[in-house]
Chains A and B, each alone.
Chain A
Amino acid sequence: MIRRPLRPLARILAARAQGGDPGAIEAENLRLRNDARRDELRLRAQGRLFVMALCFLGAFTLIGTRMGTLAASEPAEPRLAASGEAIRASRADITDRNGRVLATNLATHSLYAQPEQIVDPARAARELAAIFPDLDEGALHRRFTDGRKFLWIRKTLSPEEMQKVHDIGEPGLLFGPREMRLYPNGRLAAHILGGASFGREGVHSAEVIGTAGIEKEYDAYLRDPALSGAPLVTSLDLSVQAVTEQVLGGGMRLLNAKGASAILMDVHTGELLAMASLPDFDPNDRPPPLTRGEAADSPIFNRAVQGVYELGSVFKIFPVAQALELGLAGPSTIIDTSGPMRVGGFSINEFRNKNFGEISVAEIVVESSNRGTGRLALQIGAERQKEFLGRFGFLEPTDVEMVEAPTGRPLPPQRWQELSTVTVSYGHGLSTSPLHLAAGYASLVNGGTRVRPTLLRQSGPQRGERLVSEETSRAVRTMLRQVVTEGTASFADVEGYHVGGKTGTADKPRAAGGGYYEDKVIATFASVFPAHAPEYVLVVALDEPMETSGEEPRRTAGWTAVPVAAEIIRRTAPLLGLRPSVDAPPLPALTPASNG
């Protein structure tokens, strides 16, 4: 800005020439300059005040709005709380992997009596006994008249029963609302679901609590109101489970077996698609545990999870896999399996005292040679064997999501010495549950990483620790496939599914201790399909089976467990979406022997 002079020469000279006062010009200019300065200062001050006012306005608006919303929203809150969200069935449903209901709730009524209000106790007792045959008329009448004020009669009523009781027209018989646990599929997956019963009971409501199985394991989750009734999604497939139970039940009857179990497991995710144990029960009416005799004879005993057995030759694949992994042998390494073989004072014999002579490691698995795996196990040594089996989870209970899982604790040999090393290599001396075996096979064939069995639907494969290399896993699958194509499990060759597996026929140890039964076995078949690209592992175990179509009864797994497993695979594989492939896939070539 150009500062204007106070005494501009031109105007002064002009004023002087006209006789004016040059001082007036200076004063005038000075006044103009002061005016301009004052205006500028005022404008600046006004601006500051305006900004200040805006700040205060903003602050007061904020506080005022907040107070307004607080004041306005307070009466609305109780209304929101009373909305429909709170009205929910109290216990969440359990569904299969596709959302089909396995357990749900049903609103029913309970029946109770207030004897003080009963007009005609004799008639009420007579009519009630007519409706419910299990009630005793005399006992009811006695209770109606002994002066008590309150009496439960039934915990749940069907609508028809309720109408009949209503028709008695007795004012002292009263109904209370009850929520009841219903298993619409009856016996299906009974051991997994477990059962439920009433906890604390009142006239107007009762707690439903899980008593066994996944119901008890997830009791807190199922009852959590914060989850607002989101169902518990299990890994089971309803159709696959139903088919497995049906085929297993048929096989058990045909083969005169005392009990049976089957486990179908995804080798990548560890999901249990089906798990059956027979005999079973109806979880809607769970039988009480046995008070006498063997607990394992009760139908509520879950053979697949709780039952620990010496499973026999199905274990042979583990010492072989370890020998491959350690580089002690390759599939075509020749091992001398001829007798006699004495370890720790005991003679190790083959099945039916056969003698296989010098055979390759693959043939040891195919022919199921006890001395062959025994010799490999002696090379491996007790310490390494124990550590290897431990990493597969064979020495601790499974962590499957059932309350019974910790009771399925394996029984390892008390002193793991040379003899135990040899017997464990062919499946004796170490008792495990069929579920352990399924998990072990899954970990071995899926490429060699550990999978843990689970009953909940998973979103992706488990990435467990590596137990054996890809190469060992491939070689193991080739051997298992050879057992089916050339060995003891020829009945398992389901066309199109390239089943691989290993049979095991284990003599049952005497209950009183000391030796084994001659004519009681547990026949097991552990299989994987398809062997070239494994998807599922199926373990079938039959307790005391006997095949009687031949001249003398056959008990070996090849004649008992294998045909049952083959039928299960034939029926379930299509349901699992596996397309049978007619062309034989190229089997991986056997790796050359790396001896030493």
Chain B
Amino acid sequence: MTSDRSTDRGADTAIEFRGFGLAHRRAEGDETLLADVDLVLQRHRFFLFVGTSGGGKSSLLRLLAGLVEHREPPPRITGDLLVFGRSLDEHHERAHDGKVAAILQDEGLLDELSPRANVELALRAADRSTKLAPALLAQAGLPDPPERTAQLSGGMRKRVAVARALAASPELLLCDEPTAGLDGEAARQIAQLLRAAHDEDEQRTTIIVTHDIAAFAGLVDGVLVLDRAQRSLRLEGPDYAPTGTASLSRDKQVDADSAALHGLSKLLLQLGAIVETVLESLKRLPPFELPQTARTVWRFATEPALFVAIAGAVIGGLATFFGLRNNPIEGGFENAILTGTGKVSTAVLVPLLSGFFFTARIAAGAAARLGTMKRTNQIAALQMMGVRPADYLLTPLVWGMIVAMPLVTLAGVVAAAGAAALAAGLVSGISTAGWAAAYFQTVDATDVLVLLAKTTLSGYLVALCCYHLGTGPKRSGAEVGEAVNAAIVQGMALVLTVHAGLTFWAYA
């Protein structure tokens, strides 16, 4: 093992390991990944980072990037890890003040934004002009990117990710498998792009986790080798070639179950996460990401309007139609039927149905989207850009629900009333004025306030539920699906609870 113990620990040092050890916490005992590592990485070097599978390369990279998963027990760290002279512990988050950028696996591009908007978002987060986005994209080899991120090929996604990562002019650029999934030629182009980006900034240090050493041949200044068996980290020369049977295949994620705690600790961790989500929602309630919030409110208000209006019309119309039509006493109880229909439609049925639909259609969709973002490192990318996920995701979700849900529910109530008026006219020939006097006879401001309270509170809680479930750890697509199912079930339970509670409180 050749440890490069640098004697120059001043401005030329990018990263320094001092007796550094890293271990996963497990119920049956810690699993040590690295132990007693002493190593200094100089600034403005272009490193490859290789090692055996499951050796902890990605864990170390995320640690360097400041990406901490709050819902899971943090890794155990011993010794010191200094990044630009600043020590990191296991609880640090985004501690580098924009000096570090990372290109994670799956690139973490925000799918709902265009490639250019992705870069602009990173520029805005770095307090730089968004007008630099075309130049950055051109620098990354995409002078004319498609409008939609989904239209990007694998190589183009890598280029956009590079452009986005360079937006903050990071001093430390971390890349996790940037050539994965690309053929030889494309991989080589990305490697050259990364090297060129590295050379542009004299202060920049680049570390690339990869198994594709060939793609970077002749471009690197050194190779970091993580030896799983020796639990060591060493720095080799640029011509390093792996030997033996050590697999260089892609590292596997740590098994969540094996890393999870059990019993009370797990419960406390989950409760803590819920409390953290609630506090975060309150703390970040002002719409800091105004465009994203406005987009979400617009989408939440317009997408379910048709269904809720139709459902409201069906409830109000059919209840009135069959109430009057099946009335055994022709002409009898008309006022009572209309009054009852108006009250129950306005205060109970339409709000409840609207709450269910918002949960099933909007909130579950949000949970799926958040889960996918989590799974594909989009949320991590936001964190790397310095954008708080709460600002970009939770706050718009909350505002979308607490604004759109009452609004759309009121539209459903109006549709129910309109259909009831129509049905009353068709069945019994009741005039609009006569119908209105009876239908709204007992509908008062209290009902509207209760409606607003129900929809606002349940919308807020459902938004929290979906955000919390969607942004939890996601290691597979199945976990995304489970989060969606849980969001539907728990969201509807919340809606039912809020509606039943407020109905009882207001009317009983």
A and B are interacting partners: no
